[in-house]
Amino acid sequence: MTSPIIETQMHNGPLLLTHDMPAAQTVSLGVFLNVGSRDESAAQAGMAHALEHMLFKGTARHDVDALAELLDRLGGTANAFTGRERTCFHMRVLREDWREALQTLCDMVLQPTLPEDEWQRERDVIYSEMAMAEDVPEDWMFDRHLEALYPGQKIGQAVLGSRDTLATFGRDSLAGFLNTYYRPPNMLIAASGGVSHVEIREFLAARDWPDGKEVERREHVRMADGVQCLERDDEQAYFAISLPGIVAASAERPVAWLANQMLGGGMSSRLFREIREKRGLAYGVASHLSGLSDTGAWSISGSTDPVRLGECMAVLREVMQGFADSINADEFARAVRQLEVSLRMGMDSCEANMLHLGNRFDEPEILPQDAWVAAIRAVSLDEVRDWAAAHLMQPALWTSSGPAKALATLPSELQA
């Protein structure tokens, strides 16, 4: 089968990837940048996220009000996100509006005005965002969990930065970071939906592309293990456990996805059944894989009543210890089906296909989703058992957060 994914390296410009969906009435567009919070110096912490806000504050063609009105007139969705290694600005519009939308996205990244007065206001908005994150116990706990998981490393610092670093930013420092990194060769443009590769390629070929600087080699990652107890007066106790996982482009992904699905990926997973359904210890508990270019974690997180935190963590540890050897054929077949359904449903979504193309920074080639369906079907039960056993034997970082009475219920080996 011919892949619907086409790739072109634009001359002196970005890498272009498209997924043609001829019957779609919409087009999803994304400008991906191979830079994130991990690429900031200590003094720049939070700069990529600050630029995520500021690129909506006006371009060379449109001031802040005109830009907001244009985005509303296009009538679709316009948004952005910042991660540890990636920043993305994306839009979904009707197919007839893709040219105006793509021009606007490119203008936002390449020709933002970054008005100083807008930054003074937007900085206060980010301070409010920080306060909101601190008010959400699980977010607060997980930020500190990541700091402890990657001690003293950029990869563990908060994406939002800090109030102290944001206070030092001005238009010149924001523009300097943008002009250095928000350029080819750190740029990828992805499009999926009712537009052809040739149309977008010709559109981009008519644009001038400024030169940028490749992101510097990222520091070697050290992942810590042990116990972290965080006293905080919340109504619930929260927990997170992380151990080494897989990198973003790992060949082990199909096996790892299946192991994760069975451990904590749905309502029939081991964790959900044992901790919520059988014992009523938590409203929600789940596992997830997070892969980056050179490291990855396999994590479990959830919350429970403070007086039952110790019991919950003991059960969780039992599930982890007995999981690999007890995986049976029925749950394996169910996990294969669950992942296949998820991938195939995503194939109908312009947005999901566009975001999938953004993974090209980590991959030598982007495979279509049906190739991943075939890869998952090819995995054997024994492969998953062996992979899960090897990974769950690794040292982990156990973080618990809650009132003192909750932390006191923990088994002695999980108390700091």
Tens of pLDDT, residues 125-151: 999 999 999 999 999 999 999 999 999
In this predicted structure, the answer to whether residue 257 has a pLDDT above a threshold of 70 is yes
In this predicted structure, the answer to whether residue 304 has a pLDDT above a threshold of 70 is yes
Q: What is 226-414's CATH number?
A: 3.30.830.10
Q: Which residues contact 65 (CB under 8 A, 6 or more apart)?
A: none
Q: How far apart are the first and last CA of the chain?
A: 56
With contact defined as beta carbons under 8 Å apart, do 7 and 368 qualify? no
Tell me the C-alpha distance between 191 and 270, whole Å.
38
Looking at the chain, the whole-number percentage of residues with pLDDT higher than 90 is 94
Tell me the C-alpha distance between 411 and 315, whole Å.
11
Range from 27-36, 172-181, 206-215 carrying the lowest mean pLDDT: 206-215
In this predicted structure, the answer to whether residue 363 has a pLDDT above a threshold of 90 is yes
Give the torsion through C-alpha atoms of 170, 171, 172, 175, to 10 deg: 130
Q: Which two tokens stand for residue 411?
A: 């088994």
Position 93 confidence tier, pLDDT thresholds 50, 70, 90: very high
- What mean pLDDT is reported for the chain? 96
| Predicted pLDDT of residue 215 | 81
Exposure b/e, 390-406, CB count within 10 A at least 16 = b: ebbeeebbbbbbbbeeb
In this predicted structure, the answer to whether residue 1 has a pLDDT above a threshold of 60 is no
| Predicted pLDDT of residue 312 | 96
Position 2 confidence tier, pLDDT thresholds 50, 70, 90: confident
CA-closest candidate to residue 68, choices 60, 80, 78: 78
| Predicted pLDDT of residue 211 | 85
15 vs 2, higher pLDDT: 15
| Predicted pLDDT of residue 217 | 79
What's the full length of the chain, in residues? 416
In this predicted structure, the answer to whether residue 54 has a pLDDT above a threshold of 90 is yes
Q: Which two tokens stand for residue 94?
A: 């009707």
Handedness of CA 138, 141, 143, 146 (dihedral sign): negative
Tell me the C-alpha distance between 179 and 182, whole Å.
6
Give the torsion through C-alpha atoms of 332, 333, 337, 338, to 10 deg: -30
- CA 55 vs. chain centroid, Å, equals 20
In this predicted structure, the answer to whether residue 326 has a pLDDT above a threshold of 60 is yes
H helix count then E strand count, the chain? 16, 11
Q: Cα–Cα distances in Å, from 271 out to 137, 297, 329?
A: 21, 18, 18
Q: Which residues contact 76 (CB under 8 A, 6 or more apart)?
A: 26, 91, 92, 93, 94, 97, 101
Q: What is the mean pLDDT of residues 358-381?
A: 95
Q: What is the mean pLDDT of residues 266-275?
A: 95
Q: Which residues contact 338 (CB under 8 A, 6 or more apart)?
A: 261, 265, 266
Q: Is 75 left (phi over 0), alpha (psi -120 to 50) or beta?
A: left
pTM of the model: 0.95
Q: What is the mean pLDDT of residues 353-376?
A: 95
Domain boundaries, the chain: 5-205, 226-414
- CA 366 vs. chain centroid, Å, equals 18
**DSSP character for 59?**
B
> Do the domains 5-205 and 226-414 sit in the same CATH topology, yes or no?
yes
Handedness of CA 190, 195, 200, 201 (dihedral sign): positive
Domain 5-205 is in which class?
alpha beta
In this predicted structure, the answer to whether residue 167 has a pLDDT above a threshold of 70 is yes
Helix (H, G, I), strand (E, B) or coil at 173: helix
Looking only at the bridges linking them, the beta strands covering 187-193 and 26-33 are antiparallel
Sheet of 226-231, strands arranged across: 226-231, 397-402, 237-244, 296-304, 285-291
In this predicted structure, the answer to whether residue 96 has a pLDDT above a threshold of 70 is yes
Q: Considering only CA atoms, give the Rg of the chain.
A: 23
Range from 9-13, 210-214, 220-224, 299-303 carrying the lowest mean pLDDT: 210-214
**Residue 132 φ/ψ, nearest 5 degrees:** -60, -45
With contact defined as beta carbons under 8 Å apart, do 309 and 408 qualify? no
